[in-house]
Amino acid sequence: MNFTGAHILSIQQFDRGDIQRIFAVADSMEPYALRHKVTRVLEGAILGNMFFEPSTRTRVSFGSAFNLLGGNVRETTGFESTSITKGESLFDTARVLSGYSDVICMRHPHSGSVAEFAEGSRVPVINGGDGANEHPTQALLDLYTIRKELHSQGRGIDGLRIAMIGDLKHGRTVHSLCKLLCVFDKIQLTLVSPKELAMPDYIIESLREAGHQVTITDQLTSSISHVDIAYSTRIQEERFASKEEADLYRGRFRLNQTIYTEFCEPNTVIMHPLPRDSRPEANELDNDLNANPNLAIFRQTDNGVLVRMALFALVLDVADQVDKYSRDVNWYNSLRSK
Amino acid sequence: MNFTGAHILSIQQFDRGDIQRIFAVADSMEPYALRHKVTRVLEGAILGNMFFEPSTRTRVSFGSAFNLLGGNVRETTGFESTSITKGESLFDTARVLSGYSDVICMRHPHSGSVAEFAEGSRVPVINGGDGANEHPTQALLDLYTIRKELHSQGRGIDGLRIAMIGDLKHGRTVHSLCKLLCVFDKIQLTLVSPKELAMPDYIIESLREAGHQVTITDQLTSSISHVDIAYSTRIQEERFASKEEADLYRGRFRLNQTIYTEFCEPNTVIMHPLPRDSRPEANELDNDLNANPNLAIFRQTDNGVLVRMALFALVLDVADQVDKYSRDVNWYNSLRSK
Amino acid sequence: MNFTGAHILSIQQFDRGDIQRIFAVADSMEPYALRHKVTRVLEGAILGNMFFEPSTRTRVSFGSAFNLLGGNVRETTGFESTSITKGESLFDTARVLSGYSDVICMRHPHSGSVAEFAEGSRVPVINGGDGANEHPTQALLDLYTIRKELHSQGRGIDGLRIAMIGDLKHGRTVHSLCKLLCVFDKIQLTLVSPKELAMPDYIIESLREAGHQVTITDQLTSSISHVDIAYSTRIQEERFASKEEADLYRGRFRLNQTIYTEFCEPNTVIMHPLPRDSRPEANELDNDLNANPNLAIFRQTDNGVLVRMALFALVLDVADQVDKYSRDVNWYNSLRSK
């Protein structure tokens, strides 16, 4: 695709070459995200960070990514205005707000709303999550993390062995990640969930049509013993038909250091879209994994800044100018010092 | 008036020369708002964008206008603090907040509150709307739009023929626009509303004292047949004494392309303060007007950025320095490309 | 202490030399806060202004201080996200958010939360107030104000005579100020409160251990007759056991110009942490003191910007570079003109 001036609405827009282009630009952003260097390439540009649904970390991640490129951020953090409740169309809202910025990031609770908004916008719109529909930057940062973690082991995404664990029925992030994986080759996926919360059939079919090998199970320990990536997601109790059903699965999808040591290969990377529920009764990742160097959950969120910087740079066509406007950082850098 | 360091509280402050000065500076801001050029003239300056009442588009418009001049924006989006509920006076609030910025834009639900706030402020205050009282930048952007639309037809504001349509009793924007028109010559106004929602007498008197010709009617189609501008506003059902009364008028003030084609002159410009209610039962502007090149409603909001940039530049006395601190834009510009 | 890269969590971290260092840097920030000069020393740096509890003025003060040094601000203004309610630990929240900025200012309703957050953060964290526990920048700006007011009278903090008035039991600011005063010499403190709202014993003991002279009273007028500083705080009615008890003290801790003239020395400086309750029934500072040049309450909030600029400059190790990146202000400066 031609990124310049394009809306980024769905991962379905990207082919393999597009993804590689995004990731290459994300790689080039690392010196700026790690505060070794500062760039002013977007000095004077404005991001309209339009969050019509609260999401602190996604909002701040987009905003910081734009600041790191030298731009300014104007934003909204909820349905503060009554314009939409007064019957204003998303087309009108978009047309008006797009007069205030050079690019818009939008999050909205309704599926399809961001695409509808983009039709009215005069500037590029990046989807920051529209209900159950899409959250393309989350899927990209997940895949970028997989690529980076495997790269440090001398490998690529083709041939990846991954287990996805938890609520695979409702998890927007695992759905999107599966769709992205379809443009790569020879992936082995193990889908680990309670039967009631299984991955939708249409996604499994897409994976198999792409030539991937899919195994379905509700057993955690056996499924994580030969994988490169263990991608855990939250299971909410209220998703089950009854409390008895939920109790039946309690703790069976929880990963901790003891299980990791006993069942995983030594380099298996642990991922999670966050937030992780750290309460004892949660079905997720134990805090005792924090000392495990293969716990990549925070590298995921850090990578989100790189991926979002890359998308801004591509859409506004400054990817090749970033270094030209750069200089060394002159303040104390905690990240460099650790 | 001397703009430097002045508060902008009311359109009553401006004489004809002041308005011309604001509009001339607004014109000079166009290359920056259209992203042909970037200026850093206010680099290091801070706008305190104090919205004690939600209004996303006005807030973002002010903030973006300040960013476009190179300045930073700190803001609040509602009565988040309990300081005022704890009995703090507006004087104290103003004195404290004015220590944090170079200029303040304030919106507040209470009539007169912004003027009271300005008394305590050590920096210039711009009224972003204080209840039913004033919203001077809205009135200025409306008049600026009229001037610009007519200018492209080779004409000026003197001699203007305008129809104002809808709820003329409660509409703050049409009241302010009428007051602004009083400093110009030979305006023909047609005021179209249900009798219950007629323009207040004191405004009609001011218009007539200014030598303008005022016609009052509740018939839409005849009133829009010989005007340069058809300025439509919302009628809220709850303004009527009864549902029967509201039903009586239902649809009678709605403008659509069929009516436009049949009754308007070919160059009649359609305006609206927005948001427009796009639901089918609304008494406003139809979406089928979106393809009409004379629909100026989005040019209005775009012009709002120019007018707000002009006010900041005048109040902070940098109108003559804007170009000196400018350079060409180095990123992809959607607006330039369309 | 070594400020570079340090968390600023508590006033207990500072010895006398540290306080002097902070104040010296704060002094050097004055030309920037008064808008005589602009500095870009932190251009490209990002402050994460994380307010998990509303506090407009503290939030805006931190944000403006960072802008005045040339940096950008990303922020949150409340528990908008449900991540924490979904069971996310403060460690996780901190680790994620600290990937988005160079320094974090955090406010949170729970005592001890900011220190817990700091453990997970990869960048320096400044405490913007954590419940009843600490609000170190408020204590520093209070002491900085005392120093500055006395300095203009040719004196220092050692030997200070100060009356603290109001609710000394619950007032976080007076507790912190007392702790800070313990590193200075020969202070005379008069603690004026209803008996039910007396200063906690452990603080009185610390003051006496530091060699200070402490007098306890519930009589306002006699206690303010020989002091350099009269520091007034709010008494909330609901703090009393009964309405009768509250009525007993009504108006007895209120300072106005008549009382000031009759009982105070001519140079006694009046302070208050703000907001001040300006309603007639309030137990605080009368508006008739606004014309009194010794009313320092607004100089306090102005000084807050200087102190916060100093902390940012110290923690990010740019205190010595501020002038190098500076230039003269090119816009109209209200503060300079008054």
pLDDT at C171: 86
CA distance A311 to A317: 9
Average pLDDT for A117-126: 96
- B56–A48 CB contact, under 8 Å: no
- Is C153 a domain residue? yes
Rg (C-alpha) for chain C, rounded Å, is 20
Residues A147 and A274 in one domain: yes
- Residue (of C104, C49, C112, C54) closest to C79 by Cα position: C54
Q: What is the largest CA-CA distance in chain B?
A: 61
Mutate one of B84, B86, B123 to test the C interface: name it (highest C CB count within 10 A).
B86
What would the two tokens of residue C133 be? 């526990």
**Residue linked to tokens 């609770």:** A109
CA distance B265 to A102: 36
pLDDT at C86 over 80: no
Mutate one of C39, C236, C332, C333 to test the B interface: name it (highest B CB count within 10 A).
C332
CA distance C212 to C218: 20
pLDDT at C250 over 90: no
Of B7, B135, B175, B254, the catalytic one is B135
Locate the DSSP E strands across B30-184: 37-39, 46-51, 72-76, 103-108, 125-130, 161-165
CA distance A57 to C86: 14
Does the CA dihedral C75-C76-C81-C87 come out positive or negative? positive
Q: How many residues does chain B have?
A: 338
- Is C6 a domain residue? no
- CB contacts of A87 in chain B (<8 Å) are 275, 277-279, 282
B77-86, B212-221, C258-267, C308-317: which has the minimum mean pLDDT? B77-86
Amino acid at B146: I
Locate the DSSP E strands across chain C: 37-39, 46-51, 72-76, 103-108, 125-130, 161-165, 188-192, 213-217, 229-232, 269-271, 326-328
pLDDT at A280: 75
Element (H, E) at B214: strand B213-217
Nearest to B83 among C39, C56, C68 (CB): C56
- Is A212 a domain residue? yes
pLDDT at B166: 92
pLDDT at A82 over 60: no
Torsion of CA C129, C131, C134, C137, to 10 degrees: 20
- Whether B164 and B142 have beta carbons less than 8 Å apart is answered as no
Query: DSSP letter at C195?
Result: G
User: Which chains, if any, share at least 3 CB pairs under 8 A with chain B?
Assistant: A, C
Of C57, C122, C208, C336, the catalytic one is C57
Considering only residues B282 and A48, tell me which one the structure prediction assigns the higher pLDDT: A48
**Residue linked to tokens 């931190």:** C62
Residues A33 and A143 in one domain: no
What would the two tokens of residue B96 be? 């404290």
Q: How many CA atoms lie within 13 A of A124 on its CB side?
A: 26
Nearest to A100 among B64, B290, B330 (CB): B64
Residues A231 and A85 in one domain: no
Amino acid at C282: A
Q: What is the pLDDT of residues A40-63, one digit of tens each?
A: 999 999 999 999 988 899 999 999
What would the two tokens of residue C318 be? 């740019």
CA distance B125 to A201: 60
- Residue (of B192, B188, B168, B181) closest to B140 by Cα position: B181
pLDDT at C80 over 70: no
Q: How many CB atoms lie within 10 A of CB B176?
A: 24
CA distance B181 to B168: 15
- Residue (of C169, C213, C223) closest to C194 by Cα position: C169
Minimal C-alpha gap between C141 and chain A (Å): 24
Residues C238 and C326 in one domain: no
Residues B162 and B262 in one domain: yes
Confidence of residue C54 (pLDDT cuts 50, 70, 90): confident
Name, in order, each residue with C-beta under 8 angstroms of A205's C-beta and a sequence gap of 6 or more: none
pLDDT at A302 over 80: yes
pLDDT at A310: 98
Considering only residues C3 and A237, tell me which one the structure prediction assigns the higher pLDDT: C3
Percent of all residues in chain A with a pLDDT value above 90, rounded to a whole number: 80
Residues C221 and C183 in one domain: yes
- Whether A5 and A307 have beta carbons less than 8 Å apart is answered as no
Confidence of residue C81 (pLDDT cuts 50, 70, 90): low
Considering only residues B215 and C248, tell me which one the structure prediction assigns the higher pLDDT: B215
Q: Is the peptide bond before B266 cis (omega within 30 degrees of 0)?
A: no
Residues A157 and A102 in one domain: no
- Whether C135 and C172 have beta carbons less than 8 Å apart is answered as yes
- CB contacts of A100 in chain B (<8 Å) are 57, 60-61, 63-64, 305
- CB contacts of A316 in chain B (<8 Å) are 331-332
Residues A117 and A196 in one domain: no
pLDDT at B329: 96
Residue A85 is among the residues annotated as catalytic for this protein? no
pLDDT at B79 over 70: no
Query: Residue C303 in 3-state DSSP?
Result: helix
- Whether B60 and B304 have beta carbons less than 8 Å apart is answered as no
Residue B86 is among the residues annotated as catalytic for this protein? yes
Query: Residue B229 in 3-state DSSP?
Result: strand
Query: DSSP letter at B204?
Result: H
* Burial zone of A80 (CB within 10 Å; 0-12 exposed, 13-18 middle, 19+ buried): middle
pLDDT at B120 over 60: yes
CA distance C36 to C9: 32
- A48–B68 CB contact, under 8 Å: no
Q: Which residue of B has its CA nearest to C277?
A: B87
Produce one character per residue of C15-27: b if its CB has 16 or more CB atoms within 10 Å, e if not: eeebbebbbebbe
- Is B3 a domain residue? no
- Is B1 a domain residue? no
CA distances from C63 to B47, B224, C276 (A): 12, 51, 23
Q: Is the peptide bond before C275 cis (omega within 30 degrees of 0)?
A: yes
Query: Residue A213 in 3-state DSSP?
Result: strand
pLDDT at C79: 63
Confidence of residue B54 (pLDDT cuts 50, 70, 90): confident
Amino acid at B138: Q
Q: Which domain holds residue C72?
A: 11-135+301-333
Nearest to B275 among A43, A80, A83 (CB): A83
CA distance B250 to B238: 13
CA distance B70 to B183: 33
- Residue (of C43, C52, C53, C75) closest to C62 by Cα position: C75
Residues C264 and C322 in one domain: no
Query: Residue B176 in 3-state DSSP?
Result: helix
pLDDT at B215: 97
**C148-155: long-range contacts (C-beta < 8 A, 24 or more apart)?**
C148/C299, C148/C303, C149/C228, C149/C229, C149/C269, C149/C296, C149/C299, C150/C228, C150/C269, C153/C228, C153/C267, C155/C228
Helix ranges (H only) for C182-237 are 201-209, 220-223
- Whether B311 and B137 have beta carbons less than 8 Å apart is answered as yes
- B64–A5 CB contact, under 8 Å: no
CA distance B66 to B316: 11
Residue C186 is among the residues annotated as catalytic for this protein? no
- CB contacts of B30 in chain A (<8 Å) are none
Minimal C-alpha gap between A115 and chain B (Å): 17
- Residue (of B237, B259, B256, B258) closest to B248 by Cα position: B237
Q: What is the pLDDT of residues A211-263, one digit of tens each?
A: 999 999 999 999 999 999 999 998 877 777 787 877 777 778 889 999 999 99
CA distance A164 to A34: 30
Strands B161-165 and B188-192 come out as parallel
Nearest to A301 among C42, C72, C96 (CB): C96
Q: How many CB atoms lie within 10 A of CB C184?
A: 20
Phi, psi of A92 (to 5 degrees): -60, -50
Residue C59 is among the residues annotated as catalytic for this protein? no
Percent of all residues in chain A with a pLDDT value above 70, rounded to a whole number: 97
- Residue (of C156, A102, A138, C55) closest to B334 by Cα position: A102
A269-273, B44-48, B276-280, C256-260: which has the minimum mean pLDDT? B276-280
- Is A5 a domain residue? no
Query: Residue B163 in 3-state DSSP?
Result: strand
Residues B255 and B161 in one domain: yes
pLDDT at C251: 78
Q: How many CB atoms lie within 10 A of CB B5?
A: 16
Residue B226 is among the residues annotated as catalytic for this protein? no
Q: How many CB atoms lie within 10 A of CB C159?
A: 13
Average pLDDT, chain B: 93
CA distance C122 to A82: 39
Angle of helix A297-315 relative to helix C90-97, nearest 10 degrees? 30
Average pLDDT for B76-83: 67
pLDDT at B338 over 60: no
> Could you give the number of structural domains in chain B?
2
Q: What is the pLDDT of residues B147-195, one digit of tens each?
A: 999 998 889 999 999 999 999 998 889 999 999 999 999 999 999 999 9
- Residue (of B66, B1, B136) closest to B310 by Cα position: B66
- Is B332 a domain residue? yes
CA distance B165 to C281: 49
Residues B152 and B292 in one domain: yes
Q: What is the pLDDT of residues C120-162, one digit of tens each?
A: 999 999 999 998 888 999 999 999 999 999 998 889 999 999 9
Query: DSSP letter at B200?
Result: P
Amino acid at B203: I
Minimal C-alpha gap between C55 and chain B (Å): 5
Residues A15 and A115 in one domain: yes
Amino acid at C21: R
Is the CB of B289 inside 8 Å of chain C's CB atoms?
no
pLDDT at B32 over 70: yes
Considering only residues C62 and C279, tell me which one the structure prediction assigns the higher pLDDT: C62
CATH number of the domain that residue B125 is part of: 3.40.50.1370
pLDDT at B301 over 70: yes
Mutate one of B72, B77, B106, B321 to test the C interface: name it (highest C CB count within 10 A).
B72
What would the two tokens of residue B22 be? 């604001």
**3-class secondary structure for C46-83?**
EEEEEECCCCHHHHHHHHHHHHHCCCEEEEECCCCCCC
Average pLDDT for B123-131: 95
- B82–C54 CB contact, under 8 Å: yes
pLDDT at A144: 98
Considering only residues C236 and B314, tell me which one the structure prediction assigns the higher pLDDT: B314
Q: What is the pLDDT of residues C162-213, one digit of tens each?
A: 999 999 998 889 999 999 999 999 999 999 999 989 999 999 999 999 999 9
- C64–B44 CB contact, under 8 Å: no
Does the CA dihedral B131-B136-B137-B140 come out positive or negative? positive
- Is B4 a domain residue? no
Confidence of residue C216 (pLDDT cuts 50, 70, 90): very high
Average pLDDT for A8-25: 97
Name, in order, each residue with C-beta under 8 angstroms of B160's C-beta and a sequence gap of 6 or more: B146, B150, B181, B184, B187, B188, B228, B229
Phi, psi of A167 (to 5 degrees): -85, 95
Is the CB of C280 inside 8 Å of chain B's CB atoms?
no
Segment of A145-149, A286-290, B108-112 carrying the highest mean pLDDT: A145-149
